[in-house]
Structure 1
Amino acid sequence: MKSIRKRLVFYFMFIIIITVVTLEIFLINNVKQNYYKNLEDSLHNQIKVSTDLYHRYFADATLHENVLNNVDTFWKQTSAQVEIIDTDGNVLMDSIGIIPANVVGMEDVNKALQGQTGKWMGKVEYDNEKVMAVSYPLYSGEEIVGVLRFITSLKEVNKDIRKIATVFMAFGALVIVISGFVSIFLASTIVDPLQEVTAAAEKMALGDFKTKSQKRVDDEIGKLSDTLNYMASEILKKEELKNDFISSVSHELRTPLTSIKGWAVTLKQGYEDREMLTDGLEIIEKESDRLTHMVEELLDFSKFVSGKITLEKQPVDITGILEHIRKQLTPRAIRDQIDFQIVYPKGLPITYSDENRLKQVFINILDNAFKFTSPEGRIRLETSYEDGQFLFHIRDTGCGIPEEELPKIKEKFYKGKSSKSKNGIGLSICDEIIKRMNGKLEITSKLNVGTEVAIILPLQERE
């Protein structure tokens, strides 16, 4: 596995080296150009003084006469090599005694013969370093009679440039070394927290969800630590809920099974009392129904969790569902002495949905309302249709739900503190069904006042 630390250091150093090298090249080149420009300006000033001197005091004599009689006047003005060239390109005089046959092809000489200041840089046979030559025309009146040429070696200039370049490169190398250590430190500030988060994540992967990832800085890595810690706490909560659920389901299943087994053993002894036999069989039937209902609820829950549940859509008459619920629950309301009402307007439209699932939702919610509403209480299912949506409001005057439990009431396995709760999956199934129908299920409640469940379902057209 490639180390992030090494990659980060490599990337940092790559950027730093490229930046330092680019800056070094720019600075050294700039110094070189400045040195050469200063040397050129110095030669230009010196040669201008000499040509002005020639124009003022020696222009009356010919160029050859001046070379013979006044040549020392020109090289006294400069420490550079001095050449005097006629208009044909012949070198008449050279201050160091090296006279080439003809210099007409030289760029600086050609410009000077055209009346301009010429400059040339290149190699000569008598010097190992490059030289710089500056040429200027010599005038007699308005006529160019020759060229004055100053030549100087670039040896000392290049030596100074190399010294400065050495200093720059040494400083650049120092910057790179310091930056290397800084890069290692910066990489550690990123990698070390990542390693800690990784170690915490590995422990969590092994099942230790009580471990915590330490947050160093409030950045992306800090956010990752917070996310891992939140995930671990949520898993612990779900684990606790799951354990409570298993314990609750075990208890709920044991109760009807105990009743069934008890009466089966009792009836097996051959009681001839017809009334006792009828009571026993009736209890066995009811407990079997209750057991079947719990198993079906568990199967439904399993299907929803695994995503295998599907809605069987067909034309649904909401009015028919509401009347069915009225007939089914009115006897219970009379038995429990509860004022049960279902209110809806006439002419509710037909929607395409799963009728059985809708009944399951309403009956489950109303069943909870009946459980938590005392005698002389009131339960009301009110239905309306507005802007393409069915609005169902189920209100009761029961004991209500504590405020701290409301956000969790639709969570899987959550039972709350009431002993009347069973397995804690009924409302979560209802909420999942409504979501599959593109609707919303919202619960509001006030302790010792009552609870209201609002269901919003959009009108569904045939697909």
Structure 2
Amino acid sequence: MSGIKKRIVTHYILVIFLTIALLEGIFLTFIHFYYYDGVEKILKNHAQVSSSYANRYMSLNSYNLDDSLQLIKDQFSYEGAELQVLDGQGRVLLTSSGIGLDEVIKTDDVMQALNGVETSWRGDHFLTNESVVAVSTPLFEAEQPFAVLRFITSLENVNQTVYNIYAVSIGIGLIILFIIFLVSITLAKSIAKPINELTLASEKIAKGNFQSKIKETYIDEIGTLAKTFNTMADELTKNEKMKNEFISSISHEIRTPLTSIKGWSETISSGDLSDKQETMEGLHTIQDETERLIGLVEELLDFSRYQANSLTLNEKPFNLTALFKDVIFQMKTKTKDKHMKIRFHFDQDLLMIGDKNRLKQVLINLLDNAIKYSLEETTIIIEIEENEQNVKFHIRDEGVGIDPSELPSVTKMFYQVDANQSGTGLGLAICQKIIELHQGSLHIESKKNEGTTVTVSLPKK
């Protein structure tokens, strides 16, 4: 039996066993008192009535006791019990059974009765050795006990009845315990089986098999866990695919500028250095490609900080309007290549507190995406709205757009709408993180072939 099954069965059986034992104990205690105390109570009642009658109406004393024995027997005999009359020394003067005459009895009940106290006693009969209960009550002469009325009844039938009830009760308890044992095994299997499936599936995933799934046949929390696990496996599969695409993409991104740098380095080193134009063209290309590599390295560093949740802000006052104009000027070459225009009409100074360099990174990424996915000779419109609490800016392009089904994924790590386009799939994810660190929000609206609008909301500080 596996560990969890063993624990479930053991704990379940232990709880049920203790419950049954407690109930059995209470029941058997009740049975014991009901039968034994019931018999004793009946004898006591008869003994009290008999002694009270004898002491009050029969005028018994040590002188006429022997002559009154037959009358006592006739008056006080009780069916199912043996009547004994004992003198002041405990010697048996009369017994309704006819046996044991002249025997001296010194049991506790007799000695207590000779001291004037009615009491009972349980033990073995001095002649038959059977289990009996006896009740002794005193007879008084001048307020002094001089004789004892003693009633004895056998407990053998009571013992047998009680033992039978004990046996039946314990047997029923054992049967219930056995049934509970079988039920607990079934319960343990129903819990352990999906957990074992989950463990095996987890081991497969740990080894890189993200296609491993478990059955979703349960309708309780285990079923919910199975669905969650399968969702996790699907997400891991997607992440693994995106990671592989990212590695392929970043390898391509790095290889291209390195190839250009290597090519132009070889050309310059082996060429005619007197050809100033060619040399300057090569150096210019090497400079551009180096800047591109630096940008890739910065993006990877940001990714590393993103993963470690250690992206930090250096917040200072700055002019958001001036920042927009600076970024638009920086993107001028890219828009010129595609004969595009960026329309931005907001001349008043908009002072804010934030990390200027990080927000510049956001603006460059958003504008770069807008240019990259826009058609030639189109326009990108930038609009700014402000109120007392927030500043919102919208970047609207007339590009190819994004399918609505892909919108929830565009800000995920490594995700690229078009795998053929250059890029690492990290830009928007890092942008969103930077905006969230500024306690703002990023929202994207898009329709296929109708363009995209990115809205960023930042709180004023």
Whether the TM-score (by the shorter chain) exceeds 0.5 is yes
Residues 110 and 148 in structure 2, CA contact (< 8 A), matched pair in contact too: no
Correspondence 1:423 to 2:424: yes
| CA-CA distance at 1:335 after TM superposition | 6.0
| CA-CA distance at 1:261 after TM superposition | 4.1
Residues 137 and 147 in structure 1, CA contact (< 8 A), matched pair in contact too: yes
In the other structure, the counterpart of 1:120 is 120
Structure 1 residue identity aligned to 2:403: P
Distance between the aligned counterparts of 1:273 and 1:37, measured in 2? 126
Residues 260 and 284 in structure 1, CA contact (< 8 A), matched pair in contact too: yes
1:225-252: CA deviation from partner (whole Å, max 9, x where unpaired): 3333333222221121121122222223
Distance between the aligned counterparts of 1:451 and 1:437, measured in 2? 23
Higher deviation after alignment, 305-314 or 389-398:
305-314
TM-score (norm 1): 0.81
Residues 414 and 426 in structure 2, CA contact (< 8 A), matched pair in contact too: yes
In the other structure, the counterpart of 1:400 is 401
| CA-CA distance at 1:326 after TM superposition | 4.0
Residues 318 and 356 in structure 2, CA contact (< 8 A), matched pair in contact too: yes
Matched position secondary structure for 1:71:
helix
| CA-CA distance at 1:413 after TM superposition | 1.3
Residues 390 and 456 in structure 1, CA contact (< 8 A), matched pair in contact too: yes
In the other structure, the counterpart of 2:303 is 301
Residues 395 and 451 in structure 1, CA contact (< 8 A), matched pair in contact too: yes
Distance between the aligned counterparts of 1:197 and 1:81, measured in 2? 75
In the other structure, the counterpart of 1:386 is 387
1:188-233: CA deviation from partner (whole Å, max 9, x where unpaired): 2222322222122122222222222334423343333333333322
Change (3 A) 1:150 1:240: same
Residues 67 and 93 in structure 1, CA contact (< 8 A), matched pair in contact too: no
In the other structure, the counterpart of 1:164 is 165
Distance between the aligned counterparts of 1:401 and 1:243, measured in 2? 22
In the other structure, the counterpart of 1:8 is 8
Matched position secondary structure for 1:312:
coil
Residues 445 and 451 in structure 1, CA contact (< 8 A), matched pair in contact too: yes
In the other structure, the counterpart of 1:291 is 293
In the other structure, the counterpart of 2:26 is 26
Residues 381 and 396 in structure 2, CA contact (< 8 A), matched pair in contact too: yes
| CA-CA distance at 1:415 after TM superposition | 1.1
Residues 108 and 121 in structure 2, CA contact (< 8 A), matched pair in contact too: no
Superposed CA RMSD in Å reads: 4.0
Residues 110 and 136 in structure 2, CA contact (< 8 A), matched pair in contact too: no
Structure 1 residue identity aligned to 2:294: T
Matched position secondary structure for 2:65:
helix
Residues 379 and 397 in structure 1, CA contact (< 8 A), matched pair in contact too: yes
Higher deviation after alignment, 401-410 or 19-28:
19-28
In the other structure, the counterpart of 1:202 is 203
Higher deviation after alignment, 418-427 or 396-405:
418-427
1:126-167: CA deviation from partner (whole Å, max 9, x where unpaired): 264654344678899xxx998754222323322321232123
Correspondence 1:313 to 2:322: no
Gaps of 5+ in 2: none
In the other structure, the counterpart of 2:247 is 246
Aligned-residue sequence identity (percent) comes to 36
In the other structure, the counterpart of 2:83 is 82
1:284-325: CA deviation from partner (whole Å, max 9, x where unpaired): 443343333333323332333244543333333323323323
Residues 379 and 398 in structure 2, CA contact (< 8 A), matched pair in contact too: yes
Residues 108 and 133 in structure 1, CA contact (< 8 A), matched pair in contact too: no
Change (3 A) 1:336 1:300: same
Aligned length: 451
Distance between the aligned counterparts of 1:173 and 1:422, measured in 2? 72
Distance between the aligned counterparts of 1:285 and 1:92, measured in 2? 132
Matched position secondary structure for 2:245:
helix
TM-score (norm 2): 0.81
Distance between the aligned counterparts of 1:262 and 1:401, measured in 2? 37
1:375-427: CA deviation from partner (whole Å, max 9, x where unpaired): 45332333334354332322223221111111110111111136434221111
Structure 1 residue identity aligned to 2:399: G
Distance between the aligned counterparts of 2:317 and 2:275, measured in 1? 51
In the other structure, the counterpart of 2:411 is 410
